[in-house]
Structure 1
Amino acid sequence: MYDRTITLAGKAGHAIAASIDGPELGFPVILAHGGGQTRRAWKSVTRQLASHGFRTIAVDMRGHGESAWASDGAYDISDFAADLVEIAAAMRRKPAMIGASLGGLAGIIAEGNRAPGSFGSLTLVDVTPQMEPSGVARVVGFMAAHAREGFASVEEAAEVISDYLPHRPSRKASPGLAHYLRRKDDGRFYWHWDPTFIEGVTRQGGVSSDNGRSELSAAAASLALPVHLIRGGSSDLVSLEAVKHFRRLVPHMAYSDIANATHMVVGDENDAFGKSIVEFLLSTHEMEMKS
């Protein structure tokens, strides 16, 4: 595995941090994380995919991790979608696209609206056009709570995460947690993402159920490529009714329900999630991988 920076076109020449794994000529797979996360969320999954011959490109979405922040505050779903389209267009062949939450929404808009034909397949991790308002509010509330004031210590941040994820063992102030924080000149620790991003989401009332609009549903209904929806069995964002709604929009979709997983499917049940991903991609892209 190695890291690189992808410089996108546009007035700012936006810099996107990425981690690359797998054989150079392997079938490409882009992985886009959820809001408030980084490409590190895919670490175990990319190892599994690489071992099966896939070439993985896990990115930090704009305003997250080591990627550049948008100086103009351009954090609409369409902005994230445009980044994914440009990254895909630079590859030798159409990549498979895996998107969790924010990354999945961007994938729907990218393929279903902005640039159909950009991807070879689309896997959505616990995200659909319809999401439960209470679940969305919980996520947005967590991200917004310490966006500007930060934390006095890494230990304090660990306690906040443990309160947010009570179903997991308490998270200590591990070296890994430091990757999600930035220490500024005032000595305090801040999340690795641009607070302008979550403030924009808050002003818009959250990213859920099209916010009364049909943009996401219309984009989903236009998806003609192979689609795989993976839901956390205990998700408080994607209900079974939302899955039915999505199936009406995308009747050809494949579906996996990961038992004991919440919205944070990858972190909750990594092995089961990885198995589901590998099986879908191998069956979907078998012929392309042989060519």
Structure 2
Amino acid sequence: MKTIAFEGVEGNRIVADLYEPSAKSAHPPVLLVHGGGQTRHAWRGTARALANAGFTAIAMDQRGHGDSAWVGSKAYAFYDFAADLAAVCRDMERQSGRRPIVVGASLGGLASLLAEGRADHDLLGGLVLVDVTPRMDPDGIRRIHGFMGERMGEGFATLEEAAAAISAYLPARRKPASMSGLAKNLRRSDDGRYRWHWDPAFMAGPRPVNFERASVEAELDLIVAKLKVPTLLVRGRQSELVTEDAVAEFLTAVPHARYVDVLGAGHMVAGDRNDAFTDAVIGFLLEETAVAS
């Protein structure tokens, strides 16, 4: 694995990790795009497995998250993430000669749909939506945003305090054996306290993530009705955001899409059941690339 960088639409630096297979592969590259409040490190296990299966995998930090730049414009609407993602995909296609397949979780999935729908030519070679559909449960969204914003300013005195807050919010989730993974989702500020590894303007700026959400949902409805690329929807069966009705609506709009419902997982499917999630994604990719060849 090595760390690389792309340029977003505002000239903003986008940091990513590159996982390459041991031998040259004819498979298209795979871009892994995390959800809101996460970082590229959420994909580590999946990215390694993809490389072992012969795929070049790139896991990126979205704008304002992880090691990517906090944008001076403080623009963190869905449209802004989509524009960055389109720029990265075009760069990947220039370098590899193949349109990338995007695996997008939550925010990353919505950005992927918007990027594909707004492109003036085919942008993606395929799409894996991870626990996200155009219609998501509003109560679930409020709970997640409430948790993210509650300690946004105050932060945490220790990593253990942050872990306790996460356990209180997600009591069914198994506690990690080590704090190393959690540490990558936090940054230590000058005052010694740990804060989430994203720009507070993402939630509380002039153009936050929920900016014009109703317009976004209306546009997403139009996009999925015309979606042609090979598509897989992966849901956590205990998802707080994606209901069975929302899945049914999506599969009706995108009849060629495949669907996997992961038992024992919530919204954070890749973290809750990384083995089952990764198997589903690799199975889909191998089948689609076999068909394409």
The question of a shared fold, defined as TM-score above 0.5 by the shorter chain, is answered with: yes
| Sequence identity percentage | 46
Q: CA separation in 2, counterparts of 1:49 and 1:224?
A: 24
Where 1:155 maps in the other structure, the secondary structure is: helix
Deviation at 1:9, TM superposition (A): 4.7
Equivalent residue, structure 2, for 1:15: 13
Instruction: Describe the superposition over 1:185-205 as per-residue Cα deviations: whole angstroms up to 9, x where unpaired.
Output: 111111100111022599776
Q: Over the residues paired in the alignment, what is the CA RMSD in angstroms?
A: 2.1
Instruction: Describe the superposition over 1:185-231 as per-residue Cα deviations: whole angstroms up to 9, x where unpaired.
Output: 111111100111022599776897x4685111112212111111111
Where 1:156 maps in the other structure, the secondary structure is: helix
What pairs up with 1:66-81 in 2 under 5 angstroms? 66-81=67-82
Instruction: Describe the superposition over 1:4-41 as per-residue Cα deviations: whole angstroms up to 9, x where unpaired.
Output: 1212354xx11001000123655200000000111111
Report the TM-score when normalising by structure 1: 0.92
User: Which is further off, 89-98 or 107-116?
Assistant: 107-116
Residues 68 and 115 (structure 1), Cα distance of their counterparts in 2 relative to 1, 3 Å cut: farther
Q: Say whether the 8 Å CA contact 1:136–1:206 is kept in structure 2.
A: no
Q: Which amino acid aligns with 1:147?
A: M
Q: Say whether the 8 Å CA contact 1:151–1:190 is kept in structure 2.
A: yes
Residues 202 and 164 (structure 1), Cα distance of their counterparts in 2 relative to 1, 3 Å cut: farther
- Contiguous gaps of at least 5 residues in structure 1: none
Q: Say whether the 8 Å CA contact 2:4–2:16 is kept in structure 1.
A: yes
Equivalent residue, structure 1, for 2:219: 215
2:249 is aligned with 1:245: yes
User: Which is further off, 91-100 or 16-25?
Assistant: 16-25
Where 2:73 maps in the other structure, the secondary structure is: coil
Equivalent residue, structure 2, for 1:36: 37
Q: CA separation in 1, counterparts of 2:192 and 2:107?
A: 30
Equivalent residue, structure 2, for 1:197: 202
Equivalent of residue 230 in structure 2, options 214, 226, 232: 226
User: Which is further off, 106-115 or 237-246?
Assistant: 106-115
Where 1:4 maps in the other structure, the secondary structure is: strand
Q: CA separation in 2, counterparts of 1:66 and 1:111?
A: 25
Residues 184 and 195 (structure 1), Cα distance of their counterparts in 2 relative to 1, 3 Å cut: same
Q: CA separation in 2, counterparts of 1:142 and 1:175?
A: 21
Where 1:273 maps in the other structure, the secondary structure is: helix
Equivalent residue, structure 1, for 2:287: 283
Q: Which amino acid aligns with 1:42?
A: W
2:143 is aligned with 1:134: no
Report the TM-score when normalising by structure 2: 0.91
Equivalent residue, structure 1, for 2:104: 99
Q: Say whether the 8 Å CA contact 2:188–2:195 is kept in structure 1.
A: yes
Q: Say whether the 8 Å CA contact 2:66–2:198 is kept in structure 1.
A: yes
Q: Which amino acid aligns with 1:21?
A: Y
Instruction: Describe the superposition over 1:242-272 as per-residue Cα deviations: whole angstroms up to 9, x where unpaired.
Output: 0111112211111111111101100111111
Structure 1 runs (4+) greater than 6 angstroms displaced? 201-204
Equivalent residue, structure 1, for 2:46: 45
Q: Paired residues, what number?
A: 286
Instruction: Describe the superposition over 1:111-135 as per-residue Cα deviations: whole angstroms up to 9, x where unpaired.
Output: 1234451110011000000011111
Deviation at 1:276, TM superposition (A): 0.4
Q: Say whether the 8 Å CA contact 1:205–1:211 is kept in structure 2.
A: no
Deviation at 1:179, TM superposition (A): 1.3
Q: Which amino acid aligns with 1:127?
A: V
